[in-house]
């Protein structure tokens, strides 16, 4: 048995597409021009903008009632999850990985409530050997200890493990710290880190899982 570590957002699930769908719904509901979707996507900063700060920015830009902010934060957290769609190739690739002797474990930064909701809503729990979430782990990627925790969780050593993710800093930087192979999902970006680099660069998670399975 070998360890296959996977990021969640914009790796196993297409969070960017889900946020765009959420933003499209927002423009329709609030009757603002459809081209404001791009402003919303930029303001989200791929999910890195704190939700309350994003909600306040949205409230100001679209002159929403100040009391709307709290509801907006809730909608940004949970309404976005409702917009996630799982690529059927992901469970197919995870099943193939398990059949080939890999234990797939999600290592994700975020809150337990939100990340577990995504995992369960997508049915990913049926295909994973487990998941480690930074909030409950008390540490976040790229801290090497969260990767060690994932290995301990399934009782499989880190040696020979692979990490798949879209974040240069958290995913590939973390893999570099623990000395394991990694695959970076480029999402149309170019690699810019000098200190470390992924073993391989690919454009989709299923392709990355398939690649690991052939190792």
Per CB under 5 A, residues contacting Mg ion are 7, 9-10, 166-167
CB of 93 to Mg ion, least distance (A): 17
* Nearer to Mg ion (CB atom), residue 127 or residue 184: 184
Under DSSP, the state recorded for 126 is G
* Nearer to Mg ion (CB atom), residue 56 or residue 144: 144
Residue from 176, 179, 156, 180 nearest 167 by CA? 176
CB of 214 to Mg ion, least distance (A): 23
Under DSSP, the state recorded for 129 is S
For residue 102, count other CB atoms closer than 10 A to its CB: 22
Q: Which backbone phi and psi does 181 adopt, to 5 degrees?
A: -70, 155
* Nearer to Mg ion (CB atom), residue 21 or residue 118: 118
* Nearer to Mg ion (CB atom), residue 72 or residue 106: 106
CB of 171 to Mg ion, least distance (A): 7
CB of 168 to Mg ion, least distance (A): 10
What is the pairing mode between strands 130-133 and 102-108? parallel
């Amino acid at each position: 048995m070998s360890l296959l570590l996977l990021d969640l957002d914009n790796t196993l699930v297409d969070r960017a597409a889900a946020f765009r769908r959420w933003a499209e719904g927002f423009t329709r509901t609030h009757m603002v021009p459809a081209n404001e979707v791009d402003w919303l996507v930029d303001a989200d900063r791929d999910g890195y903008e704190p939700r309350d700060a994003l909600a306040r920015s949205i409230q100001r830009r679209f002159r929403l009632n100040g009391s709307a902010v709290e509801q907006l934060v809730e909608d940004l957290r949970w309404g976005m999850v409702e917009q996630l769609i799982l690529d059927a190739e992901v469970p197919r690739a995870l099943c193939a990985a398990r059949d080939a002797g890999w234990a797939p474990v999600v290592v994700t930064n975020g809150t337990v409530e939100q990340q577990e909701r995504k995992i369960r809503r997508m049915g990913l729990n049926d295909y994973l050997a487990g998941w480690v979430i930074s909030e409950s782990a008390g540490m976040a990627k790229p801290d090497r200890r969260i990767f060690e925790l994932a290995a301990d969780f399934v009782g499989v050593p880190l040696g020979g493990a692979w990490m798949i993710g879209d974040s240069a800093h958290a995913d590939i930087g973390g893999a570099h710290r623990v000395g394991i192979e990694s695959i970076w999902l480029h999402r149309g970006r170019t690699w810019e880190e000098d200190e470390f680099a992924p073993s391989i660069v690919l454009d989709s998670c299923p392709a990355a899982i398939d690649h690991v399975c052939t190792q």
